[in-house]
Structures are given as C-alpha cells and as structure tokens.
Amino acid sequence: MGRITLDQVSKSFGEVEVIPPLDLTIDDGEFVVFVGPSGCGKSTLLRLIAGLEDVSSGEIRIDREPATHLPPSKRGLAMVFQSYALYPHMSVRKNIAFPMKMAGVPEDEQARKIADAATALNLTDYLDRRPGQLSGGQRQRVAIGRAIVREPAAFLFDEPLSNLDAALRVGMRLEISELHKRLATTMIYVTHDQVEAMTMADKIVVLRDGLIEQVGSPLDLYRAPRNLFVAGFIGSPRMNFVTGAGDRMGGAPTIGVRPEHIMASKESGPWKGTVGVSEHLGSDTFLHVHDTGLAETLTVRVGGEFDARHGDTVFLTPDDEKIHRFDADGSRIA
Amino acid sequence: MGRSVTTQRKAFNTLFAWGIGLLIFFPILWTILTSFKTEATAIADPPVIFFFDWTVENYVVVQERSNYLRFLWNSVIIAGGSTVLGIIIAVPAAWSMAFVPSRRTKDILLWMLSTKMLPAVGVLYPIYLIFIKLGILDTRIGLVVVMMFINLPIIVWMLYTYFREIPGEILEAARMDGASLRAEIIHVLTPMAIPGIASTVLLNFILAWNEAFWTLNLTAAKAAPLTAFIASYSSPEGLFYAKLSAASVMAIAPILVMGWFSQKQLVRGLTFGAVK
C-alpha cells in the first residue's frame, strides 16, 4: 500500500551536495517524522520523495515499483504544504474536488467524498467559500481534505503547522494523529519542532547537514541518543552536557543528563550551584543553575512547585542510572 | 486645534492635487475645446476659452477629407496584432524566467530592458532598409512585427513580475494533485494569471496605439494608423488648428474611452509588484 524505499538517494544543487547518498525504508502505515534544524535537508528529502525535485543519484521505490523518474502526478502521493497552497480562485469544494477531477472520478462519487471529508474536517459550512475567507486552521483543513480524497499511497506533510498559532497547533497536531490512526495510511511529516516529532511519530528520522543522524522510535531516541547532536535535539528542555564531574564521568569526556533526571535540594547534594532564573509553571519548575563548575548553565526540571529565587544556593543530584556518556567524537558510549 | 490643522492641510492637498491634475489635463481639454471652434476663433488672441460659437464643422470636414475609419482600422490592427503576438511570445518566456530561472535569467531581463534605452532613431535606418528589402514598408504586417518587438521587453517584464507573485507551491500542489503540465496551465496557472495578462494587454495596446515614431516613419498611405491621421493635419502651410484638434480628438477618443473603462486593471498593471 504505502511502503517507500530510498536506496542510496542523493541530491546536489550545482556543486553543493545537500544530501549525501542515504538509505531509508518507510513501512506501510507508518508515521515517520523527519526532524532537524533548518537547512538540514529534511524538506529537500521530502520533495525528492514527492518528485518535486529530481534525485541526483539513487533509486526511490514506492510499493516496490521504481518511482525515481515518475513525475509527481504519477506517484500517487498527496502533499500538505506549509503555506497551504490552496487554489485561491476556487471554492473550498472545488479545491477538494481538484485531485478527483484530475483523476477523472465520476461527479457523484466526487460529491460523496467531498461531503465525507468536509464532515470529518468540520468544513461543511465553508464549502462554498474561497480560501481567502478562511482562517489559517481552516485553510490547513482544506489542504488536508484535498489530500485525503485522493486516497494516496502516502501523505507528505511539509511543516504543516508552522504558520498556525501555538494553541491551534496543538489541536491540529491531535487531529493529524487521529487521522493517521483512522486511515492507517503511511505519513511522512517534516518539522523542525522536536515536540511535534516526539508526540506524533512512530519513527523519527533525525537529520543534520543532509545526513541521517539516527532513526528510531521517539523513546529510543530519548533513552539512547546515538550522539551529542541527537541528545541535544531530542527532549525539552535540552539535555545538559557536563564535563569534569569526577567519578560520574566514567572515563568519558562528556556526559549528558536530562533536566528531568536531576534532583534539586536546598540542603545537600553532590553538585552545588546558584540559581539564575527559575521558571514556575505550576506543574513544573525549571531552574537554570550557574556556577556549578560543570557547565555554563545546568537546567533542572523539578516536578511541582519548588521555592527558589535568583541567587539562592541549590544542591543537585543526578540520577546515575540515566546518565548518557559520549566519547571525544561525540558518539554514545554503550 | 490639531484637528483643524489637519483639515486645512487636507484642503490644501486636495486643491494642490486638483491643480496638478488640471495642469496635466489642460492640453487635452484645450484640444477638445479647439476642435469645436471655427479656424478664426481657434487662433484668436487673446484666446477664447468657453464662450464661442460651438460648431461640429471641423469633424464633418475632417471626415470628408480623409477616411477616418481606415486609419482607425489600421490602428486597431497594429496595436491589437502587435499586442496579441507579443503576449503569445512573452507568456512562455516569462513563465520560464519566473518558474525555472537559470543563472543568467536576471542578465537576460536586464539586457532586454536595455534595448529600450537605445534611441529609436538610432536603428531607423537599418530597419527602414530591412523593410524595403522585405517589401513590407507601409504594410500592416510590417508595423505589427515592429511594434511587437518594440514592446516585447515591457510585456515580458510585466508578465515576469506578475508571475513571480504566484507562489510556486500552488503549482507544485497541482502537480501533487495529479495535474499534467497542460492541466496545471489551464486550471491553475492561467486563471491565477488572468488579471496580470489583462493589465499587460491593456497597457501595451495603449502604448502601441499612441506610438508615433515608427508608425510615421514606416507608413505612407496604406498602413497608416491614427497617428499619421493626426500628422496629416499639421501642415506646414496655412493654419488649421481647429481641424488638427478635431483629428486629434478623433484619434485619442477610442483609447481614452477604453482606458476609462479599464482604469482598475491599468492601475494594477502600472503598480505591478509595488504593493502586495
């Protein structure tokens, strides 16, 4: 149905190789997220799969069929863009109908599918409006509706929530996850937001400079990041990197401790520091601790409320079981 | 206080704008008024502005003396033909420059524009000779081709600027939605580009209609458009201000009317890319 294989796929723009040859398999029905900082090649990789960019070398197969040289229109994939990319001169109904019109779907079937999609996406009242008359969230729903009616082999999402405000983003994130559960169709989702990656993905692909740094389930990446980059990228707040912590280093030049794996106390603990900023969220308190001699700032996440002010002395105790060790190259030491 | 100053300023600005507007319009107004005077009133000193015996005699004479409709028809053919031909050539050119630019696209655009900086008279002689050799001197087809080339840089630039405003992602979305190149052009590109194409057509039709240098130099009788019609009344001997004015009004009337009804499109065309 929607198994996508990349075999030694690479992409160069002129002299510049943005994606060195890489292999990747996306299984049918999987929700895969490409995540990485801007410029890491995640969108380019998605566009290669979509066929919007030509590969420089290598082979793409969709459902075991070679697709490397197929135009986008023949790959049977649907894409949702960051800018929504709706047709401004068409009503919502016509926007959603467009892929079916291209595929020559009979009119009555078109009408039925439009009605179904509109119901599922809460768009029934807006079918006769133009995209310009809709809010950002509604526009993104239309874009998703346009993708659904194609019944594609896979959905491709290119940072679809980046243009939405924070509250709406959380809502749409859930909607897309639910859509995936309901349709069980392969989805490839590009984002720079590691929270989106962690919450939505079955499998995360972390990219940097066109290279795949690690592939795994969200918890695999959280528990066992393969290198410093992945360790720093996955998890929020960011993992603390510590040098010079004596015996705890276990011989490694750098160790990593997540903020939630450090206990804070006002009385005692192996690490001592001064509170710089404390952020009180109610559910959690984030302490930014300076002057520990281990790192410029250590971030600590304390569950619930913790009474600490700027300038207070705190003692920190890392959970030794959950310390990550990295060698001089930044690779994980097992 | 603050408010009254604003009102005063507004009144001043309004008056100033009207003043400038009337100043620009004055020659046209004067031409229209003169066309309704007798030849004697037309050259009266001091000039008579409104209070004279209005007459349409000039229009009757002009129509009797020369075949207005033939000139009009030539103007329509030359302006219309060169615009249509230009659009047919410029649309694909502008598409490729806007959506599949190469490293040299900017240079090509600038080079095209630079041809407009050349004084037309500088190439009159070679073009005249080419026209004689090809036997297209004083033919409408010759004028259509020349006018098309004269305006092509502007047409390409306008379309290019307009196409650049169309987000590429929408075209990519059409491709993802299963549209072939043909379907993409018919169902997505063209409907979105129609306002821009319309503005370009209008503006270039007007430019070609008003162009006098080439039309006067490359035509004699058969293919002469309305510019030549006007020129034929500015004779070196005798004073025919009134008739010249009547001929001018008849020549500019069609384009003025057209311009009036398409103001919105024209303004859009002239301010391309300036505002989003």
Task: Identify all chain B residues contacting A79, using CB atoms and an 8 Å cutoff.
Answer: 172-173, 176
pLDDT on residue B3: 58
Q: Given CA atoms A266, A269, A272, A275 in this order, what sign does their dihedral have?
A: negative
Q: What is the spatial distance between Cα B260 and Cα B266, in angstroms, rounded to a whole number?
A: 9
Chain centroid offset of residue A75 CA: 24
Which distant-in-sequence residues (6+ apart) come within 8 Å of A17 by Cβ? A10, A11, A56, A210
Strands A65-66 and A271-280: unpaired
Which distant-in-sequence residues (6+ apart) come within 8 Å of B125 by Cβ? none
User: What CATH code is assigned to A4-225?
Assistant: 3.40.50.300
Least confident range of A118-127, B217-226, B236-245: B236-245
User: What CATH code is assigned to B66-232?
Assistant: 1.10.3720.10
User: Structural domain boundaries of chain B?
Assistant: 2-59, 66-232
- Interchain contact A282–B (C-beta under 8 A): no
Count helices and strands (H / E) in chain B. 14, 0
pLDDT on residue B273: 46
The shortest C-alpha distance from B158 to chain A (Å) reads 21
- The complex scores an ipTM of 0.86
Q: Which residue of B171, B176, B187 is the best one to mutate when testing the A interface, meaning the one whose CB has the most A CBs within 10 A?
A: B176
Which amino acid would we find at residue B128?
Y
Which amino acid would we find at residue A318?
P
pLDDT on residue A71: 93
Tokens for A185?
Answer: 């169709």
Asked if A159 and A192 count as a contact pair (C-beta separation under 8 A), the reply is yes
Least confident range of A66-75, A121-130, A201-210, B33-42: B33-42
**Rounded mean pLDDT of B128-152?**
92
The tokens 């009144």 sit on which residue? B11
Task: Indicate whether A292 pLDDT > 70.
Answer: yes
User: Structural domain boundaries of chain A?
Assistant: 4-225, 237-326
pLDDT on residue B274: 43
pLDDT on residue A28: 95
Q: What is the spatial distance between Cα B192 and Cα A87, in angstroms, rounded to a whole number?
A: 9
Strands A57-62 and A4-13: antiparallel
- Interchain contact A52–B (C-beta under 8 A): yes
Task: Indicate whether A255 pLDDT > 50.
Answer: yes
The shortest C-alpha distance from B169 to chain A (Å) reads 6
Looking at the partner chain, which of B178, B180, B191 has a beta carbon nearest the beta carbon of A99?
A: B178
CATH homologous superfamily of A237-326 equals Nucleic acid-binding proteins (2.40.50.140)
Q: What is the spatial distance between Cα B56 and Cα B36, in angstroms, rounded to a whole number?
A: 6
Q: How confident is the model at residue A22 (pLDDT cuts 50, 70, 90)?
A: very high
pLDDT on residue B259: 84
Please tell me which residue of chain B has the smallest CA distance to A98.
B177
Q: How confident is the model at residue A185 (pLDDT cuts 50, 70, 90)?
A: very high
Q: What percent of chain B has pLDDT over 90?
A: 32
SS3 category, A38: coil
Q: What is the spatial distance between Cα B229 and Cα B248, in angstroms, rounded to a whole number?
A: 8
pLDDT on residue B223: 84
DSSP 8-class letter at A202: S
Asked if A205 and A212 count as a contact pair (C-beta separation under 8 A), the reply is yes
Which distant-in-sequence residues (6+ apart) come within 8 Å of A241 by Cβ? A228, A231, A232, A254, A255, A256, A295
Helical residues (DSSP H) of A55-135, grouped into ranges: 92-103, 107-120
Please tell me which residue of chain B has the smallest CA distance to A155.
B176
Q: Which of A60-74, B212-226, B248-262 has the highest mean pLDDT?
A: A60-74
Residues in chain B: 276
Segment 136-175 of chain A within 8 Å of chain B by CB: 146, 150, 156
Q: What is the spatial distance between Cα A129 and Cα A106, in angstroms, rounded to a whole number?
A: 23
